[in-house]
A = this chain, B = another copy of it.
Amino acid sequence: MSRLTGKVVIAQGGGPTAVINQSLVGAVLEARRFPEVTRIWGARHGVRGIVAETFVDLSEATTHNLERVAQTPSSALGSTRDKPDAAYCQRIFQVFRKHDVRYFFYIGGNDSSDTVRIVNEYASREGHELRVIHIPKTIDNDLPVNDHCPGYPSAARFVAGAFGGINADMMALPGVYIGVVMGRHAGWLTAAAALAGRHDDDGPHLIYLPERPFSIERYLADIDRTLQQQGRCVVAISEGVWASRDGKGREIPLAAELMRKAGREPQVDAHGNIQLSGGALADELADVVQKRLGIKRVRADTFGYLQRSFPGVVSSVDAREAREVGEKAVHYACEHHMSGSVVIKRVGDYAAKYELADLNEIAAQTRHMPDAFINAEGNGVTEAFRGYLRPLLGDDLPRLERLWAPMVKLGD
C-alpha cells in the first residue's frame, strides 16, 4: 500500500485526565517524522472544533512547549461532551475532505471511539481514503479489550493516596469517614482505594461498587461491625451506586431513597426528574450513619474534580503508556495503513504491549469489574484486584509509616 499524503487532525474528547496530553504529544511528535504528513492540526474542543473549523497548527508548536504540555493535566486542546449523531459525523467527514485531512486521531473514551467509527464509515462510502485511530483514555477504566486505560492509573494513584491520608487522619481522630469516588457505571476507580492500606486494619474497611446491588441496611451493619472491631471505619463508595427502583421500574438515586427514609422529600423538576446536588449522596450516606448508628463523628467527602486533574500525582507507568499509545496510533496509521483503536494488553507482571483492535469491539461498550476482583460479601475487593492494580500505580508511592513504640506499663 502506498503512502498517503495529507493532513493529520488530532482531537481530545470527554473528561480530562492527568495524562491525556501525553497521548497528544506522543502522536504529534511521532507524526512529524512522516514526510507524507503535510500538516498537523489540533481541533479545539474535540469534534466541536472540527465542525467549527477551529484548528491550531501543531506543526508550529515547539518541542519544548509540547514536552511541558505532556506533563500538564487536562486536555490542552480543549474537550467537549458532544456525542455526534450521524449528521454530525457526516459534517466532520466533509471538513476532512475539504481540507485534505487523511489521518484522524481522536483521544477519548467509548463515545469518541464510536465517533471515529462512524466518520470512518462515511469516508469509506464516499471513497475518501482516510485513516482513523481511536486513542484510549478514561479514568473510569471501562473500555473493553484493554487491560486498562490511560488516565486510570493516575486517578487511581490519587484515590489510593487520598484514602491513605484519610486512614491516617481517622487513626488520629477516630470516627466514620465516607469518600464518594467518580465512576457512574464501573467501580474501577473506587476499588483503587483498596491500595491505600498496608496493615490489616488500614482503611478503607469497606468498598461499595456499582457492580453489586447496594443495601442501606447491609451498609449500616458493615459499618457497625467495623467500628466494633477497629474503633473507626473508612468507607469508599462509588457515585454510581444507584441500586433502587421505584414501583414503575425506574431508577431512584440512592441519595433520594436515603432522604425519604429520613423523612425528607427530594426536589423534583418540571420533567419529574429527581434533583440532587453534587454532594447529596455523600451527605445522605453520612446522615444515615449518624442517625441510625448514633455515631457522632461522621465525615463525608465527594472527591469530585480533584481526582482527575490534580497536578503532580501521576503514575510513571501511566505517563509512559499514555505517551506510547499516542505514538503507536501514528505507527498504525502511517506505517501500517490501518484504522482502529489502540489497546493496551498486559504482559506478565508487569509490561504493556499495544495492539490495534477493531473499532466495533470498543465503541459504546462498558467494561465492568469482573467477579474475581470483588469479594464474596460485595463490600470489598480481592487480592487478585490488588495484584492487577499495584504495578499500574508507578514508582515512588508515598509510604505511610506507623509509629512503633511500646506502651508504657504503669504499675498502680
Residues of A within 8 A of B (CB): 12, 15-16, 18, 41-42, 45, 53-58, 60-62, 65-66, 68-69, 71-81, 99, 161-162, 164-166, 168-169, 171-173, 177, 264, 267, 277-280, 282-284, 286-287, 299-306, 308-313, 398-408, 410
Contacts and interface: CB of A to CB of B under 8 A. Distances in A.
Contacts of A58: 405
Contacts of A80: 173
This protein's copies in its complex: 2
A411 to B, nearest CB: 11
Contact of A303 (B164, B278, B280, B306): B306
Contacts of A53: 410
A164 to B, nearest CB: 5
Nearest to A282: B279
A306 B301 contact: yes
A406 B65 CA distance: 13
B72 A400 contact: yes
Nearest to A284: B277
B264 A264 contact: no
Contacts of A405: 42, 56-58, 60-61, 65
A299 B313 CA distance: 22
A313 to B, nearest CB: 7
Nearest to A306: B162
- 5 closest Cβ pairs, A-B complex: A279-B279, A277-B283, A301-B304, A74-B168, A68-B401
Given A68-B399, A162-B310, A79 B404 contact: no
